[in-house]
Chains A and B, each alone.
Chain A
Amino acid sequence: MPANVIPFASVPWHGRTVLRHVDAHALLRYVSPVILVLMWQGACSTGMVSTRQVASPVQVIMTGWGLLRDGTLGANLGVSLARAATGLAIAVVLGVGFALISGLSRLGEDIVDAPLQILRTLPALAMVPLFILWFGIGEIPKIALVALGATFPIYLNLHKGIRSIDPRLLEMARTLGLSRMQTIRDVILPGALPDLLVGLRFAVGMSWLMLVVAEQVNAESGIGHMMMEAQDFLRTDIIMVGLVIYGLLGLVSDQVVRLMERVFLSWRPVHQRGQGA
């Protein structure tokens, strides 16, 4: 037996299976996307698919690199990110604010909840014409649209979270003589945090959706604008770069929220994680 080979039996049994499991799993997840991309490239290279209709992966990468080099991509991405972040920030403030008002007091619920429940049945995208009339074509209608779409998931989930706090814990807080403020801080808000994070995840998804529409309807900059311009020049490669960017943005932001869940909800046993939705 060669000296550098670790005897099989000396590796702890569970460590071995875990390692092998993770490796195989990670690999398997990437196999089929990679095959699909290869098939796509093959179809383009052999002329089975017209590159006018669909740019090839290599073309998309080259175009993306070019757009990155000349600064077009960075500038548009920056504009889009700023819009999404601003809109989302407003949504968090509004959604959390409304949810606290209606979750923590009956009077607040009577005042705040009914109008919000009515508003939420409107498809936010149907507001686009109205927003353009109201706010013109600057940054405001785009940010407002993102904020509008993202507020509801945050409000609804946090409100539900506050209202569904285990009444036995509230009772316990009373027997311990906790003040109303202490109860809100130590019992209600932490208890509703999982729901808030679920709402945030939906809100982030909603933000990108709203942004795509807002930027494609009217804009002088942003990823959506870049794609619409490319449409005029039949540049499917640029359109697909835009799609890839949107995809990556969605992926990254979802990971960020998941990371927040891991950090803030570390009290949940491992087997309960990610069950929020």
Chain B
Amino acid sequence: MNAAVMTNGTRDVSSPKNGVVAINGLTRRFGRGPAVLDRLDLTIAPGEFVALLGHSGSGKSTLLRTLAGLDPVHEGTVARPDSVSVVFQDGRLLPWKRVWENVVLGQAGADRRRRAIAMLEEVGLGHRVDAWPLTLSGGETQRAALARALVRRPVFLMLDEPFAALDALARLKMQRLVARLWARHGCAVLLVTHDVDEALMLADRAIVLDRGRIRTDITIALERPRHHADPGFIHLRGVLLDALGVHDD
């Protein structure tokens, strides 16, 4: 059986210099409301794959938006690399640019198209290079969004529920794809998901956001490729579901 180590809120974040991402004491509220993020600490190592879980409204997207530089930091510190990429749940391709132009949007260079095609082939979308985005299926849209994120060679990749709107089959395929791409590109990944199995299939580490803080931080030391039936997998699923307040007996 694979070893699984669990620490509960005790992960060492005293040396953020080691991380590609380092958050210290981040607090975020909207207006005079309660703190959505409450003195949150998080460090992500280079190349590490972290899955972020939590109930709807627990602040996952808020955390990710802050890391993406879309939301301001009022309290606390956030250190992140310059080259970050984001994939949102809804793809967000420009409908008036062909797929390949979306991939290299804002990128300079004479070999833009060639790079776009290479990246699209990597995500399995080599046959839709010149398509209009509105003609893509949900899964194809997310592949294109992934290609657009990765063609920039990010050090840190953020995925906000990228497969949530896909059907089960497409989601499985996308998970495999992300695992492959991560292995090849080696960037640090923060994957927001509400799917415990998805987190366990992909991540090195799963964290659970609860009342503005990370109260559960689990290292997933299972060997890849992983299998749902693996006893270690089943054990960790129980742990994560517990942390989410869902008890399946």
Contact = CB atoms under 8 A, between A and B. Distances in A.
Nearest to A269: B134
A245 B208 CA distance: 72
B97 A175 contact: no
A178 B105 contact: yes
Contact of A191 (B69, B85, B88, B96): B96
Nearest to A189: B96
A58 interface: no
B79 interface: no
Nearest to A175: B86
Interface string B177-207: 0000000000000000000000000000000
B100 to A, nearest CB: 13
A182 B106 contact: yes
Nearest to B86: A175
B85 A175 contact: yes
B68, B88, B96, B132: which has the most chain A beta carbons within 10 Å? Answer: B96
Interface string B128-166: 000011110000000000001000100000000000000
B69 A175 contact: yes
B70 A190 contact: no
A70 interface: no
A176 B69 contact: no
Interface string B89-102: 01010111100000
B131 to A, nearest CB: 10
Contact of B106 (A178, A191, A266): A178
Given A175-B68, A176-B106, A186-B105, A168 B92 contact: yes
A177 B106 contact: yes
A129 B144 CA distance: 59
B78 to A, nearest CB: 15
A190 B135 contact: no
B69 A172 contact: no
Nearest to B97: A186
The A interface, classified by DSSP as helix, strand, loop or mixed, is: helix
A99 B95 CA distance: 22
A172 B88 contact: yes
A175 B134 CA distance: 21
Interface string A156-188: 000000000000110111111111001000110
A267 B134 contact: yes
A268 interface: yes
A172 B133 CA distance: 15
B69, B94, B148: which has the most chain A beta carbons within 10 Å? Answer: B94
Contacts of A272: 134
A23 to B, nearest CB: 29
A125 to B, nearest CB: 37
Contacts of A168: 88, 90, 92
A180 to B, nearest CB: 12
A175 B148 CA distance: 11
Interface in A167-226: 168-169, 171-179, 182, 186-187, 190-191, 193
14 contacts: A168-B88, A171-B70, A171-B92, A173-B105, A175-B68, A175-B70, A175-B84, A176-B148, A178-B105, A190-B96, A265-B96, A267-B97, A269-B132, A272-B134
Given A169-B92, A171-B70, A182-B106, 11 more contacts: A168-B90, A168-B92, A169-B94, A173-B105, A174-B69, A175-B84, A179-B106, A186-B94, A267-B96, A267-B134, A269-B135
Interface of A: 168-169, 171-179, 182, 186-187, 190-191, 193, 265-269, 272
Interface of B: 68-70, 84-86, 88, 90, 92, 94-97, 105-106, 132-135, 148, 152
Closest 10 CB pairs of A and B: A172-B92, A190-B96, A178-B106, A175-B86, A267-B132, A267-B96, A269-B134, A176-B106, A175-B68, A267-B95
